Structure 1
Amino acid sequence: MDFLTTALLLLVGTGAGVALANALRNRSGITDVRRDSVILLERIEKVFKVVMAEGYFSEIYNYQDQKKILYLLNDPKKAMVIAKSKVLVGFDFAKVRFRAAENGEKTLVIEAFPEPEVLSIDTDYKFYDIQAGYLNHFSGEDYTKILDEAKQAMNDRAMQSDLPKIANNQIQYMMYQLASSMGWQLQLPEAEQRQLEALKAKTEAEASLPKLLKTGTPT
């Protein structure tokens, strides 16, 4: 057997092996999936943000887009998104303006305090019932728009809930306790000061209730 014949036999055998392997792979449903990702760090910023309230929300978001074909026929596309989110509400302390009292007393005067805000939304999205039109198909921009609108709806829902109120109460009482532990008084803007006084009275009443119950229990 000469060299040419040997080479031809090797080529035929290799081709048959590749064909057999492809046939077996297609039959068994094995696919070769490759994924590549590139992570770029754009910038690092120093922040002083404090989380004071955490809430969990579920939302069903329905998206529908109507498209006219030749100004006569409707070609709708729609999708349903179920979103489950963890929302963190707190404060950006970079926006706080404060000073020490001018009379020399150990009083921390808060001149301006920011409103509570959503610091982060961690959301898990799942798409259901995706129905594209005959010509009105979904694009990458459509999916991005749907997710942005669903996230904004979750943000609005969180700010309309009790989370901002809870965060306000938490931060005011935390600052009061921190100042008191160092022998300082805390002076907030008028509206916030009234809320703090009411919260202090409520907390003190709740703390003294077990003592009153214990004292009033017959022996």
Structure 2
Amino acid sequence: MIKKIVLFVSLLALVVLGFRFCDFKKEADTTTIDSAGLIQQQILNVGKLIVTEGHFSEVITYKNQEKYLMGMVSFDKKALIVVNADVTVAYDLHKMKYDIDPINKIISIVSIPKEEIKISPDIQFYDVEQSKLNPFTGDDYNKINKSVKANLTQKIQKSTLKSNAQNRLISELSKLLLTTTNLGWTLKYQGNVIANDKALDQQIKL
């Protein structure tokens, strides 16, 4: 009789332990799924358009000369051109490519979209001088517009506008790094582990 009672208690204990193991396993799986869901949500929060704006101004003197009769006669045209341009540098993080590995708790950023630079110049002409034999034409305006954008591009490269936009990008990605760290996940960018903000900054600016 005692042996039967001991056997029954032992079987009951095994059943209880079995159920507890299953519950533990289920909780662990649920935690992994919930963590992946939180990571996915954070990516959606980060995935937006980051825009940094700037304003540039410049004054250009445009001159052109048409010569006739072997250079003996010439007709000049010139204008003072004032340019005011609004410039935006944008990162569209909706285009960011990434992979999520819920088993090993790794999120890998595969690629970040290149910055998009948009230049919107307002060109005003002053002190215009021209002749009937050398008037301003559409070709002149195209040359001026091309020259203006080339000059503005150089100014943008020398300014802090691009670096400011990049800093905003890093600030957004830092939110993702914080979430992954708090949930016990690992963040990688192009195969490299991102352990902290400094590493993120270094990898983005390579």
In the alignment, which residue of structure 1 is the partner of 2:152?
Answer: 154
Unaligned residue ranges in structure 2 (runs of 5+): 1-46, 202-206
- CA distance in 2 between counterparts of 1:146 and 1:55 reads 21
Identity in percent: 29
Indicate yes or no: 2:193 matched with 1:187: no
The runs of at least 4 aligned residues of structure 1 exceeding 6 Å deviation read none
In the alignment, which residue of structure 1 is the partner of 2:61?
Answer: 62
In the alignment, which residue of structure 1 is the partner of 2:41?
Answer: none
CA contact (8 A) 1:176 1:185 kept: no
- CA distance in 1 between counterparts of 2:196 and 2:66 reads 52
User: What SS is found at the alignment partner of 1:104?
Assistant: coil
Aligned residues: 151
Q: Summarize deviations over 1:124-182 as a string: whole Å, max 9, x none.
A: 22111211145211113322432333133223322332111111121122122145347
- CA distance in 1 between counterparts of 2:48 and 2:155 reads 21
Unaligned residue ranges in structure 1 (runs of 5+): 1-47, 201-219
> How far 1:122 moved relative to its partner?
3.0
Letter in 1 for 2:114: E
Letter in 2 for 1:52: V
The CA RMSD over aligned residues, in Å, is: 3.3
Quick check: 148-157 or 92-101, which moved more? 92-101
CA contact (8 A) 2:81 2:125 kept: yes
CA contact (8 A) 1:52 1:171 kept: no
Change (3 A) 1:159 1:55: same
More helix by share: 2
Letter in 2 for 1:197: K
- CA distance in 2 between counterparts of 1:116 and 1:79 reads 34
Greater relative CO, 1 or 2 (CA 8 Å, sep 6+): 2
Letter in 2 for 1:50: L
TM-score normalised to structure 2 length? 0.58
User: What SS is found at the alignment partner of 1:75?
Assistant: strand
CA contact (8 A) 2:55 2:84 kept: yes
> How far 1:111 moved relative to its partner?
2.5
Q: Summarize deviations over 1:33-54 as a string: whole Å, max 9, x none.
A: xxxxxxxxxxxxxxx8723321
In the alignment, which residue of structure 2 is the partner of 1:50?
Answer: 49
- CA distance in 1 between counterparts of 2:138 and 2:191 reads 50
- CA distance in 2 between counterparts of 1:71 and 1:49 reads 61
- CA distance in 2 between counterparts of 1:113 and 1:135 reads 53
CA contact (8 A) 2:90 2:116 kept: yes
Letter in 2 for 1:162: T
TM-score normalised to structure 1 length? 0.55
